[in-house]
Amino acid sequence: MPIKLSKNRQFPSKSASESDSYLVQQCLQGDIQSYGLLYRRHQQRVRVILHQCEPSSLDDLVQEVFLRAWKGLPKFRQTAKFSTWLYRIAWNLACNQRQAEVQRRNQLQALTVHTPTQQDAPDLMALHYQDLVQQGLVNLSFDHRTILVLHDLEEVPQKEIAEILDIPLGTVKSRLFHARAAMRQFLQQQGVQL
């Protein structure tokens, strides 16, 4: 795909999906600046999807998602939403990364014996609400955490979450219900009044 740079281009402003569609068309014609705009527009949400992975590798994983999307752009179906397609790439990478992390953790646990220390018991009085939410998210299953983050924190519609995760809408609703209930219970156990 030849690369060209254009200056002072006007973008359609009807809606985000039309703008994404326009930018994708420009990318397919070799305009790398359009891909930069897509990157800036979607990188935060991609980071949220990947948030469940090891924090030290987060930047590399975001780059990997966008690299895979760039390479796969010629195969992208123009009838689909770019954001849904991109988030699906992020979700697949997050799942693969998560499985690899679990395997590494299991191997490490098999090799080491942990002796509890005072540092293992967090001082809950010093934690902020945001820290408690993060702890609550860690306690959720990977599937429940992903849906709760996408829907409640990133405000992705349930239908789009179903498309991203390739699961039925009813499953999204069920997991969201159970994730909220588990989070509510966790926060109440920590003394947060809801």
pTM: 0.59
What pLDDT was estimated at residue 154? Answer: 81
94 and 20 in a single domain? The answer is yes
Closest Cα to residue 28, out of 64, 1, 46, 61? 1
What pLDDT was estimated at residue 38? Answer: 94
136 and 66 in a single domain? The answer is no
70 and 11 in a single domain? The answer is yes
- The answer to whether 72 touches 82, Cβ cutoff 8 Å, is no
What pLDDT was estimated at residue 5? Answer: 40
- Name the DSSP class of 189: H
Q: How far apart are CA 179 and CA 188, in angstroms?
A: 14
Closest Cα to residue 143, out of 169, 163, 184, 171? 171
What pLDDT was estimated at residue 106? Answer: 67
What pLDDT was estimated at residue 116? Answer: 45
Residue carrying structure tokens 């949400």? 45
Distances from the Cα of 105 to the Cαs of 109, 112, 113, in angstroms?
6, 10, 13
Whether 105 is covered by a domain: the verdict is no
Residue span of the structural domain in which 13 resides: 1-100
6 and 90 in a single domain? The answer is yes
131 and 95 in a single domain? The answer is no
The pair of structure tokens assigned to 155 is 């405000």
10 and 64 in a single domain? The answer is yes
User: Which of 100, 116, 149 is the endpoint of a domain?
Assistant: 100
First vs last C-alpha separation in the chain: 54
Residue pLDDT tens, the chain, 194 long: 444 444 444 444 445 445 898 999 999 998 889 999 999 999 988 988 887 777 778 889 999 999 999 999 999 887 888 998 999 899 889 888 877 776 777 666 665 544 445 454 544 443 456 677 778 888 888 889 889 988 988 888 999 999 988 899 999 999 999 999 999 998 888 887 77
94 and 169 in a single domain? The answer is no
Whether 119 is covered by a domain: the verdict is no
| Single-letter amino acid code for the residue at 46 | V
What pLDDT was estimated at residue 40? Answer: 93
- Name the DSSP class of 182: H
Overall domain count for the chain: 2
92 and 171 in a single domain? The answer is no
22 and 96 in a single domain? The answer is yes
User: Which of 100, 132, 151 is the endpoint of a domain?
Assistant: 100
